[in-house]
């Protein structure tokens, strides 16, 4: 969406449009707003998961070949495996750290090509985005979310907080693109509704139920899905090496899910007795329900 539909040269504006409207819509829809200590906690999480991550992601996508940006983003499981030691007080999970390295290697084999130039600013943005998101999801696991607040509200709080962080920089530094055509409107709408509100609602719901390092390994799916779309939509052909990397990344992701969970930190929130996130063996989501304002999703096997 970023490279094919959006107006170029406006990563801050793209991040703002992706975050703020969706966040405000979610809060108005659910009528749940952060209070007390959650005013600053939502601001911190929104800044890390949205306000910093989104513009760094768009900047990396604009300045780097897609393969380089995807590989840098795939380092997130490695950063999370290290972050849980300091933030959650857990022991270092060497197996998941190792699978993170294997996963990054697999992604690199799939998406890196001869045009893989390392623009310094783009590379810094890609790594910065991975660090920001890794810290954000680790703190999300540490703090949990308030009683009675569902994943839709929780995602809305963070999207809105991140959007407000981006509001002044986006308008002062970049401003509104001079021309936004129909394709650009469609791209912004997709990123805000599907890639923003819906995706983060499901993401935070899953994060509450799974170990944080196992959840981070699922991020390896993003570049793999992009590579698959390149084959199906753009007619690209994967080489034998790329297919091997694809298999390697998938193996790392699955192995990371089945690796024994880390010891639970005393600072970690208790498991939520309400709500489940289950999947069939084919990967279809069957039920997601963590609060009155959440959306039930049903998948067909």
pLDDT in tens, 6-33: 888 888 898 899 999 999 999 999 999 9
- What's the CA gap between 227 and 74, in Å, rounded? 14
Instruction: Read off the pTM.
Output: 0.73
Would you say residue 228 has pLDDT above 50?
yes
**Confidence at residue 299, expressed as pLDDT on a 0 to 100 scale:** 37
- What's the CA gap between 159 and 215, in Å, rounded? 20
Lowest mean pLDDT, pick from 86-95, 111-120, 284-293: 284-293
Contact 70, 212 (CB under 8 A): no
Whole-number Cα distances in Å, 196 to 42, 49, 242, 252: 16, 11, 29, 26
> Hey, which residues does 285 pair with through a beta bridge?
279
- What's the CA gap between 55 and 4, in Å, rounded? 17
Would you say residue 118 has pLDDT above 80?
no
> Hey, which residues does 279 pair with through a beta bridge?
285
At residue 276 the predicted structure's pLDDT band, cuts being 50, 70 and 90, is: very low
- E-state strands within the chain: 277-279, 285-288
Residue 286: φ, ψ to 5°:
-100, -40
At residue 109 the predicted structure's pLDDT band, cuts being 50, 70 and 90, is: confident
- What's the CA gap between 163 and 110, in Å, rounded? 33
- What's the CA gap between 15 and 13, in Å, rounded? 5
At residue 218 the predicted structure's pLDDT band, cuts being 50, 70 and 90, is: confident
Question: What percentage of the chain exceeds 70 in pLDDT?
Answer: 82
């Amino acid at each position: 969406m970023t490279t094919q539909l959006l107006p170029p040269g406006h990563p801050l504006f793209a991040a703002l449009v992706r975050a703020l409207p969706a966040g405000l819509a979610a809060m108005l829809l659910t009528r749940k707003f952060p209070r007390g200590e959650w005013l600053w906690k939502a601001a911190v999480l929104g800044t890390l998961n949205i306000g910093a991550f989104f513009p760094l992601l768009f900047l990396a996508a604009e300045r780097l070949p897609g393969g380089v940006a995807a590989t840098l983003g795939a380092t997130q499981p490695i950063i999370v495996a290290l972050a849980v030691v300091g933030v959650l007080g857990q022991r270092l999970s060497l197996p998941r750290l190792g699978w993170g390295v294997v996963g990054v290697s697999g992604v690199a084999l799939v998406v890196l090509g001869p045009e893989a130039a390392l623009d310094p600013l783009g590379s810094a943005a890609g790594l910065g985005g991975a660090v920001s998101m890794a810290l954000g999801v680790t703190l999300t696991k540490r703090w949990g979310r308030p009683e009675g607040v569902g994943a839709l509200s929780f995602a809305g709080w963070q999207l809105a907080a991140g959007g407000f962080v981006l509001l002044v920089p986006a308008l002062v530094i970049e401003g509104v693109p001079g021309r936004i055509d129909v394709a650009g409107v469609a791209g912004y709408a997709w990123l805000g509704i599907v890639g923003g509100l819906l995706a983060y609602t499901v993401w935070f719901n899953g994060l509450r139920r799974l170990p944080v390092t196992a959840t981070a390994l699922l991020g390896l799916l993003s570049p793999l899905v992009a590579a698959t779309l390149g084959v199906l939509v753009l007619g690209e052909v994967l080489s034998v090496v790329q297919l091997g990397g694809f298999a390697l990344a998938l193996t790392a992701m699955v192995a990371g899910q089945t690796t024994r969970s880390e010891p639970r930190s005393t600072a970690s929130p208790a498991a939520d007795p309400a709500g489940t996130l289950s999947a069939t063996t084919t990967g279809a989501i069957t039920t997601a329900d963590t609060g009155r304002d959440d959306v039930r999703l049903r998948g067909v096997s």
